[in-house]
C-alpha cells in the first residue's frame, strides 16, 4: 500500500495479519470466528465460549433489524458480521486490509449461507472507501488499535455514518498513567507505535461535536483473556510450534506475558465505546 521505504502502521498491520504464522495462530487459538478479547464467566473458560459474549453485549446496545446497514471496521474472520446478519438480518459490510483473513471470511460466510447479507471489502479504515452518510451503524472490535492516526479513523467513521447513526467499538487501550517502560514490550508484540485510551476517544468524539460518547470499562476481561491465550498456547505448544514455527510461538508467549503483567498492574484498558451522531452540534 505504501511505496516509501518506511513502513506505515497500515502496512505493518497488513503484513502481520497476512503472514501465515499469525493467520494460523489466531485462527487456531481463538477458534476461527473471532479475534478479540472475550467476556469470561470464570478465568478458566474456553476462549471460544467467552469471545461471542462481547459481540452479544455490543449488539444488545443497538436497535438492529433487517433495514440496518452495518460497517464492521477491521473485521477479521467475520464472526461478528455473521452473528449480526443471522440474528437480526442486518446487511453487513466487512472492511479489512488482510486478504488472507478476507478469504477465510468469505468462505465461512458462504458456508453459513449468509453471503447475501455479508459483503467483504478489502480496504483501510483510515480512508474508508464509502460515501458520506452511508451506514446506520459502524462497528469495530479490537482493530483501531492498529492505526497510528486514530483521530482520522474516528473522523472517517463520523463521515460515513448517517444522521442518528451509531458508532460502537471495543479497543485495546492504555490507562492514563501507563509507564513507557511497561508500554514498549506491550506495543512490540503486535508492532504498534502507541495505544489509545477511553479519554482519548471521548475527547476525539467531543472535538467532532459528538457529546454523548459513553464508555463501559471491562478491563478485567483483558487480563483474563490474554492469560487464557497464553495458557492455551503453552498447552498446545508442540502443535503450535509445528504450525507456526518455534521462534514465532516463543516470541508470542513472551509478548503475551507482558500483556498479562501490564493488565494485572492496571496499565491497560479495554471496553465498549458507544456514540451517536445525532448529537453532533
Ligand atoms: C485483532 S483483529 C480483530 C478482528 C475482528 N474485529 C474480530 O474481532 O474478530 C484486528 C483486525 O484489524 C484489521 N486491521 C488492522 N488495521 C486495519 C486498517 N488500517 N484497515 C482495515 N483493517 C485493519 C486486521 O486485518 C484485523 O482483521
Tens-digit pLDDT profile for residues 173-205: 999 888 888 888 888 877 888 899 999 999 998
Q: What is the pTM of this model?
A: 0.95
Say how many Å lie between the CA of residue 36 and the centre of ligand 1: 10
Say how many Å lie between the CA of residue 23 and the centre of ligand 1: 12
Helix (H, G, I), strand (E, B) or coil at 94: strand
Around ligand 1, the residues with Cβ closer than 6 Å are 10, 13, 17, 34-36, 74-76, 79, 95-98, 101, 124-126, 141-143, 146-147
CA distance 161 to 201: 17
CA distance 174 to 237: 29
Pocket test for ligand 1, best of 50, 146, 172, 193 (most atoms within 8 A of CB): 146
Say how many Å lie between the CA of residue 214 and the centre of ligand 1: 23
- Give the pLDDT confidence score for residue 143 in this predicted structure: 97
Say how many Å lie between the CA of residue 138 and the centre of ligand 1: 14
In which band, very low, low, confident or very high, does the pLDDT at 21 lie, cut at 50, 70 and 90? very high
For the chain, what percent of residues have pLDDT higher than 90? 80
* Residue (of 160, 150, 106, 164) closest to 129 by Cα position: 160
Q: Render pLDDT for 101-112 as a digit per residue (tens, 0 to 9).
A: 999 999 999 999
Pocket test for ligand 1, best of 72, 74, 78 (most atoms within 8 A of CB): 74
CA distance 50 to 55: 10
In which band, very low, low, confident or very high, does the pLDDT at 2 lie, cut at 50, 70 and 90? very low
For the chain, what percent of residues have pLDDT higher than 70? 97
The continuous run of DSSP H or E covering 141 comes out as strand 135-141
Say how many Å lie between the CA of residue 281 and the centre of ligand 1: 30
Ligand 1 atom at minimum distance from 72 CA: 6
> In angstroms, how far is the first alpha carbon of the chain from the final one?
35
- Give the pLDDT confidence score for residue 176 in this predicted structure: 84
Domains in the chain, CATH or no CATH each: 9-276 (3.40.50.150)
Ligand 1 atom at minimum distance from 33 CA: 9
Q: Which three cell numbers stand for residue 23?
A: 493467520
164 close to 138: Cβ distance less than 8 angstroms: no
- Give the pLDDT confidence score for residue 97 in this predicted structure: 96
270 close to 37: Cβ distance less than 8 angstroms: yes
The continuous run of DSSP H or E covering 232 comes out as helix 219-235
Amino acid at each position: 500500500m505504501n511505496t516509501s521505504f518506511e513502513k506505515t502502521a497500515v502496512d505493518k498491520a497488513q503484513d502481520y495479519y497476512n503472514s501465515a504464522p499469525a493467520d494460523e495462530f489466531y485462527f487456531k487459538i481463538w477458534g476461527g470466528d473471532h479475534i478479540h478479547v472475550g467476556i469470561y464467566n470464570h478465568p478458566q473458560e474456553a476462549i471460544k465460549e467467552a469471545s461471542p459474549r462481547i459481540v452479544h453485549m455490543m449488539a444488545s446496545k443497538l436497535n438492529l433489524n433487517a433495514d440496518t446497514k452495518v460497517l464492521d471496521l477491521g473485521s477479521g474472520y467475520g464472526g461478528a458480521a455473521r452473528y449480526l446478519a443471522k440474528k437480526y438480518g442486518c446487511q453487513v459490510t466487512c472492511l479489512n486490509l488482510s486478504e488472507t483473513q478476507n478469504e477465510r471470511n468469505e468462505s465461512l460466510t458462504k458456508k453459513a449461507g449468509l453471503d447475501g447479507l455479508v459483503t467483504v471489502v478489502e480496504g483501510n479504515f483510515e480512508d474508508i472507501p464509502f460515501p458520506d452518510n452511508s451506514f446506520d451503524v459502524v462497528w469495530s472490535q479490537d482493530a483501531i488499535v492498529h492505526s497510528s492516526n486514530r483521530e482520522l479513523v474516528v473522523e472517517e467513521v463520523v463521515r460515513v455514518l448517517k444522521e442518528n447513526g451509531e458508532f460502537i467499538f471495543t479497543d485495546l487501550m492504555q490507562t492514563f498513567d501507563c509507564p513507557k517502560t511497561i508500554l514498549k514490550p506491550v506495543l512490540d508484540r503486535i508492532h504498534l507505535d502507541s495505544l489509545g485510551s477511553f479519554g482519548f476517544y471521548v475527547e476525539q468524539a467531543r472535538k467532532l461535536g459528538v457529546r454523548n460518547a459513553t464508555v463501559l470499562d471491562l478491563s478485567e476481561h483483558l487480563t483474563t483473556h490474554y492469560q487464557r491465550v497464553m495458557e492455551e498456547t503453552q498447552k498446545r505448544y508442540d502443535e503450535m510450534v509445528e504450525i507456526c514455527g518455534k521462534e514465532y510461538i516463543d516470541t508470542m508467549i513472551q509478548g503475551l506475558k507482558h500483556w498479562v503483567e501490564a493488565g494485572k498492574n492496571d496499565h491497560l484498558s479495554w471496553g465498549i465505546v458507544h456514540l451517536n451522531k445525532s448529537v453532533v452540534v
